[in-house]
Amino acid sequence: MVVEILISTINAGILRIDKMLLPACEKVRYFISWQHTDNRFYAIPKELSTRRDVTLLASAETGLSKNRNNALQHAHGELLIIADDDCTYTPEYIDNVLKAFAENPEAQIICFQALTPQGHKLKKYPQAPFFFQDRPKGYYPSSVEIALRNLPSIPLFDERFGLGAPYLACGEEEVFLYDALRLRMTIQYLPIPIVNTTAETSGQRFLIDESIRRSKGATLCYLYGPIGAVARCGKEILFLRGITFKQKVRLLKDTWHGIKYIAYGNKG
């Protein structure tokens, strides 16, 4: 079984991807979806053009979800790992993915854990496995924790969400998994690491980034409808500590803008 690592990158990010590559082996391939949008010249690392296990496809589009979809639509591996250009892998991580899918043949998608470069968990993870429809409160997966079988029925990422999208900076992974659940796909979580990454989670920027707050409202609207999203945003924000009531009103307004964007196509 071949694992294909789907790497999304943009502009100068192409220059560091050669450092992600493991020694060539039959069970691992790489697909690099490169958005080249700044019209600058980049000397593509030699390994990306000479290794037979690497495929590189460039486009002039923008948006992380578009980049991920480009990779998904061109992938050929039996198992796929969603990746960014700051990820690193080990042979053990690849074996973890192969073993997990072999031991869980009913699973179409499995969410794993990510570690920092220092080997610490990227965030607080549940300790026990679960099926995604029974996920515990407060669990929010990151894209680079997701691996999946390469099936025609796998949904694409909603291109309204994610870095580089016009209005919503995150939430694409939750929407992707929700769409997969609606298609009656089996999604599992396993407390097993499969990647090291330098990425921070979007929740860490909720108080300081308006687009993150809009994305929160939009994602909850997609999952629960506008009324459910308003209730959840209101409950979460009103109980925040360390900020004034005026600041809470500002946060609620930002989440409402995201809710309206999904519910009514209105950015105002």
Range of the domain at 232: 206-264
The verdict on 246 and 179 lying in the same domain is: no
Out of 170, 200, 230, a domain closes at: 200
The verdict on 60 and 130 lying in the same domain is: yes
The verdict on 66 and 179 lying in the same domain is: yes
The verdict on 136 and 229 lying in the same domain is: no
Q: What is the pLDDT of residues 81-122, one digit of tens each?
A: 999 999 999 999 999 999 999 999 999 999 999 999 999 999
Out of 182, 200, 218, a domain closes at: 200
CA distances from 251 to 96, 165, 215 (A): 40, 20, 12
The verdict on 235 and 178 lying in the same domain is: no
Write the CB contacts of 5 (distance below 8 Å, at least 6 apart in sequence). 20, 28, 29, 30, 31, 80, 81, 83, 89
Q: What is the pLDDT of residues 233-259, one digit of tens each?
A: 999 998 898 899 999 999 999 999 999
Q: What is the pLDDT of residues 149-188, one digit of tens each?
A: 999 999 999 999 999 999 999 999 999 999 999 999 999 9
132 touches 111 (CB < 8 A): yes
Q: How many domains does the chain have?
A: 2
The verdict on 65 and 150 lying in the same domain is: yes
The verdict on 185 and 80 lying in the same domain is: yes
CATH number of the domain that 69 lies in? 3.90.550.10
Instruction: Return the bridge partners of 82, or none.
Output: 6
Q: Is 216 helix (H, G, I), strand (E, B) or coil?
A: helix
Out of 200, 219, 243, a domain closes at: 200
Q: How many CA atoms are closer than 13 Å to the CA of 9, on its beta-carbon side?
A: 23
